[in-house]
Amino acid sequence: MPNTRNKFDKKDSLEIGEQAEDMFILTAVRSGWKVSESSQTENIEEHWDFLIEKGEHQYRVEVKGRKRINRKDEGGQNDFVWVELQNVRGKVGWLFGKADLIAFEKQNAFLFVKRLDLLALVNKKVNLVAKVRDPKDALYKIYRRDGRKDKLTLLPLSDIESVQFFDWKTDHR
């Protein structure tokens, strides 16, 4: 089921996410995994994009493309990741979804973390009562975009790497 543009996406967030998902599928198949796409309900309500299977291993995966810090920034960056605690509709964010793993896109790899390990990391590092209005101040704090119901926090990629489960290199030349 193709993704649709969020009414708040005034730039190219949809395309960035779709490119990450396309690279994920390609890398999964080349790595010997069977890939099944989630239904629209599973994607929206349960917050997972793909079921990957190989041998006895089976995981529901939420894929996250490289993001800007600020929507006005050009292109994605490699030093920080956004973590969604509450989505734009005011419902639970992907951190509280049913994905087993979160796959963060990096320059030439996908870094996988167990969602529950990431949740523990957020509980340990993020000040959940500190609210900020500027995305550049969102490191370990809660950021809500104007006119939206979402709650996000920003973590250094190095924190995510500290709870890494495994990774896939994407440079298949």
Tell me the domain boundaries of the chain. Answer: 13-161
Q: What is the dihedral of CA 57, 97, 23, 121, to 10 degrees?
A: -90
* Whether the predicted pLDDT of 128 surpasses 90: yes
Q: pLDDT at position 64, please?
A: 94
| DSSP structural state of residue 6 | -
Position 142 scores a pLDDT of 97
- Looking at every residue in the chain, the average pLDDT score rounds to 89
Radius of gyration (C-alpha) of the chain in whole angstroms: 15
Return contacts of 25-32, CB within 8 angstroms, 24+ apart: 25/50, 26/170, 26/172, 27/110, 27/168, 27/169, 27/170, 27/172, 28/52, 28/168, 30/172, 31/168
Average pLDDT (106-130) is: 96
Give the tokens for residue 107. Answer: 């320059």
Give 98's contacts (C-beta < 8 A, 6+ positions apart): 42, 46, 47, 48, 60
| Model confidence at 125: pLDDT above 60 | yes
Confidence at residue 13, expressed as pLDDT on a 0 to 100 scale? 56
Res. 22: pLDDT tops 70: yes
Architecture of domain 13-161: 3-Layer(aba) Sandwich (3.40)
pLDDT of 149 reads 92
pLDDT value of residue 71: 65
74 — pLDDT class (breaks 50, 70, 90):
low
Look at residue 152 and tell me whether its pLDDT is greater than 60. Answer: yes
CA distances for 81 relative to 4, 42, 53, 107, 111, angstroms = 22, 23, 26, 13, 12
Confidence of residue 8 (pLDDT cuts 50, 70, 90): very low
Answer yes or no: is pLDDT of 138 > 80. Answer: yes
On the question of pLDDT at 9 being above 50, the answer is no
Q: First CA to last CA across the chain, in angstroms? A: 29
pLDDT for res 145:
87
Under a CB-based contact definition with an 8 Å cutoff, are residues 127 and 114 in contact? no
Q: What's the pTM?
A: 0.87
Rounded Cα distance between 148 and 21, Å, is 25
Contact 49, 34 (CB under 8 A): no
pLDDT of residue 14: 58
Q: Which residues are CB-neighbours of 16 under 8 A, at least 6 positions away?
A: 65, 66, 67, 76
What single letter denotes the amino acid at residue 120? Answer: A
